[in-house]
Homo-oligomer: A and B are copies of this chain.
Amino acid sequence: MDARFLDSPRDRMVDAAIAGMRTCGLAGAGINQVIAASGAPKGSLYHYFPGGKLELAREALERFGETRQQELQTVLAGDGPPDQKIARLFKRAAKGMAQEDFRYGCAVAGVTLDLDEDSAALGPVCSGLLDSWTQTLAVLFEPLPAARRKALARFVITAFEGALVQARAARSTQPLLEAGELAGSLVRAQLQPS
């Protein structure tokens, strides 16, 4: 992120789009919503984002993805074996969900489940972010062959995304905590020398 843009109108628009996508997907990152939430002067959105809503959404997704990537790296840099790090990742998300009163989800999942003809260009952006998280996580499973490492990492991200949906619907941290334990036990089993 370029420091010049911190707290600039442009920056506030991106943050408003992220919050909107985390609340209700692409519908939350509409031009009117972003203008209202960011307090930016009306008409300035096309000045900063000549490509309009999709350009703003793309940048918001990328900034969101970068934040998540850093959180993931923080957890992976911690102590303990891989299964404990996985459980910690889910625990941390559970804590965040509860603190935010279960009002926010993953912006990438929110946008993915809103993709239609008009927004199809955002599909590869969402897919690319899921892949980048997968690659970061796959480093944890280094003893495994590359294909199995990637499949296992993707499965952990899959469980993470699914657990965020379940936790939000139930307004409960339980699905995330259980998923962290079970994904951790799968990781432990997969890493055991056979």
Question: Which B residues lie within 8 Å of A189 (CB)?
Answer: 185-186, 189
Identical copies in the complex: 2
Segment at the interface with B among A7-15, A38-46, A77-85, A174-182: A174-182
Chain A window 106-133, contacts with chain B (Cβ cutoff 8 Å), 1 for yes, 0 for no: 1011101111100000010011001100
User: Interface size (A, Cβ < 8 Å)?
Assistant: 49
**Contact yes or no, B126 A169, CB < 8 A:** yes
A158-B163 CB under 8 A given contacts A114-B25, A151-B182:
yes
Residue A26, interface by CB 8 Å: yes
Question: Which B residues lie within 8 Å of A28 (CB)?
Answer: 116
Residue A162, interface by CB 8 Å: yes
Contact residue among B151, B161, B168 (Cβ-Cβ distance under 8 Å from A165): B161
Chain A window 75-114, contacts with chain B (Cβ cutoff 8 Å), 1 for yes, 0 for no: 0000000000000000000000000000101101110111
A169-B114 CB under 8 A given contacts A25-B27, A154-B175:
no
Residue A171, interface by CB 8 Å: yes
**Contact yes or no, A113 B154, CB < 8 A:** no
Give the secondary structure class of A's interface: helix
Residue A49, interface by CB 8 Å: no
**Known pairs A105-B112, A115-B169 / 16 extra A-B pairs, C-beta < 8 Å:** A24-B25, A24-B26, A24-B113, A25-B25, A28-B116, A110-B114, A123-B168, A151-B182, A152-B182, A154-B166, A155-B159, A155-B179, A158-B179, A161-B162, A161-B165, A162-B162
Interface residues of A (CB under 8 A from B): 23-28, 103, 105-106, 108-110, 112-116, 123, 126-127, 130-131, 151-152, 154-155, 157-163, 165-166, 168-171, 175, 178-179, 181-183, 185-186, 189-190
